[in-house]
C-alpha cells in the first residue's frame, strides 16, 4: 500500500486534499467523490471537488470530518487546521498569523520554510545589517551598529539579526575575525516565495512610513510621478526599470572604492485606475 503524502511539505490545503485523494484512489480504485461527500455529510456529489478547487470554504464541522476522514495524527491535524486558516484568510494579517502558526507546528526535517528564513524576510533590517557589515570592521559592536543605523534597530535586535545571519550562512568571519557578507544566496521553495516577498515588502513599507513621519529630509529622497499611459507603454517602462536595476547592480559590483554607507533603492509601480 502506498503511504499517504507528507502534509508538512505543503502549505496549500487544496493541493494536499488532491494528493491525499489521488493516493487513496490508487490504494482503493473503488473510491468515489460520492463516497467522500457522504463521509463529509454532504449530498452534493461535487462537494469534495469544489473544496479541492477552492470553490467552497471549509467550515468547522466539515474541517473536523475531513481530519477524521484523512486519519490525520494530532500534529498533522493541527497543521492542517493552520493550512486551512492560511488558505481561507481574507486579509494579510490573517494570512501572516496562520502562516506563522504553520511554521511553528512544522517540526519535521522536510518543511515548507525554516523559521530563521522566515524571520529573515519578516524584518527589513536583516538585509540592511548584512550590507552594513561591508562598510566596517564588526565583531560584536552592537550598540555602535544601532547608532549607525539611525537607532532604527536596537542593539538587541542587531545581536539577534547577526545570530540569524550566521545561522543562515549569509555572513561569516574573515581571516581577521570580522564578520562580512558571504557569497551564499538565500533561496526558498515556490510554495512560499510570494508570501516571504510580501512580508519583506510590507516590512520595508513600514520602515519608509517611519522615516517620512520623522520629517528628516536628509535621511531620504523621494520622487513621485503619476502618468497616464497605454499598456504597451507601461511594458516598455517596466523593461527600462529592469535595465536600471541591472545598471545599478553593475555599478555596485564595479565600485573600486570601499563601501562607506548602506542605501536602500526602491522603485514601486502600481495602477491607480482600472481599464475601461
- Predicted TM-score of the model (pTM): 0.75
- Confidence (pLDDT) at 189: 66
CA distance 181 to 232: 40
Say if residue 2's pLDDT is above 70: no
Among residues 57, 97, 87, the alpha carbon closest in space to that of 191 is found at 87
- Confidence (pLDDT) at 157: 96
For 97, counting Cβ atoms within 10 Å of its Cβ (0-12 exposed, 13-18 middle, 19+ buried), the class is middle
Q: Are 133 and 209 in contact (CB under 8 A)?
A: no
Question: Strand, coil or helix: what is 260?
Answer: coil
pLDDT of 99-114, one tens digit each? 999 999 987 877 778 7
Indicate the domain borders of the chain. 7-111
Q: Are 36 and 48 in contact (CB under 8 A)?
A: yes
- C-alpha cell belonging to residue 142: 552592537
Dihedrals phi, psi of 39, to nearest 5 degrees? -65, -30
pLDDT of 126-170, one tens digit each? 999 999 999 999 999 999 999 999 999 999 999 999 999 999 999
pLDDT of 207-257, one tens digit each? 888 888 888 888 888 888 999 999 999 999 999 999 999 999 999 989 989
Dihedrals phi, psi of 266, to nearest 5 degrees? -130, 135
Dihedrals phi, psi of 172, to nearest 5 degrees? -160, 150
Residue 172 parent element (H or E): strand 171-173
Amino acid at each position: 500500500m502506498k503511504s499517504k503524502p507528507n502534509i508538512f511539505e505543503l502549505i496549500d490545503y487544496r493541493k494536499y486534499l488532491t494528493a491525499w485523494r489521488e493516493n487513496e484512489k490508487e490504494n482503493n480504485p473503488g473510491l468515489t467523490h460520492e463516497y467522500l461527500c457522504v463521509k463529509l455529510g454532504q449530498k452534493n456529489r461535487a462537494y469534495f471537488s469544489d473544496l479541492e478547487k477552492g470553490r467552497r470554504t471549509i467550515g468547522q464541522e466539515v474541517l473536523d470530518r475531513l481530519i477524521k476522514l484523512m486519519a490525520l495524527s494530532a500534529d498533522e491535524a493541527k497543521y492542517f487546521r493552520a493550512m486551512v486558516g492560511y488558505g481561507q484568510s481574507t486579509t494579510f494579517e490573517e494570512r501572516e498569523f496562520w502562516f506563522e502558526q504553520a511554521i511553528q507546528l512544522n517540526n519535521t526535517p522536510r518543511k515548507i520554510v525554516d523559521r530563521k528564513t522566515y524571520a529573515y524576510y519578516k524584518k527589513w533590517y536583516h538585509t540592511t545589517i548584512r550590507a552594513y557589515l561591508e562598510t566596517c570592521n564588526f565583531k560584536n559592536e552592537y550598540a555602535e551598529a544601532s547608532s549607525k543605523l539611525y537607532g532604527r534597530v536596537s542593539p538587541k535586535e542587531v545581536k539577534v539579526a547577526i545570530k540569524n545571519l550566521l545561522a543562515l550562512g549569509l555572513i561569516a568571519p574573515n581571516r581577521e575575525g570580522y564578520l562580512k557578507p558571504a557569497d551564499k544566496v538565500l533561496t526558498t521553495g515556490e510554495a512560499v516565495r510570494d508570501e516571504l516577498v510580501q512580508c519583506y515588502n510590507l516590512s520595508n513599507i513600514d520602515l519608509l512610513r517611519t522615516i517620512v513621519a520623522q520629517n528628516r529630509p536628509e535621511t531620504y529622497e523621494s520622487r513621485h510621478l503619476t502618468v497616464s499611459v497605454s499598456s504597451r507603454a507601461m511594458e516598455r517602462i517596466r523593461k527600462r526599470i529592469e535595465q536600471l536595476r541591472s545598471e545599478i547592480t553593475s555599478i555596485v559590483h564595479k565600485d573600486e572604492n570601499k563601501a562607506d554607507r548602506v542605501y536602500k533603492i526602491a522603485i514601486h509601480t502600481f495602477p491607480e485606475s482600472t481599464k475601461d
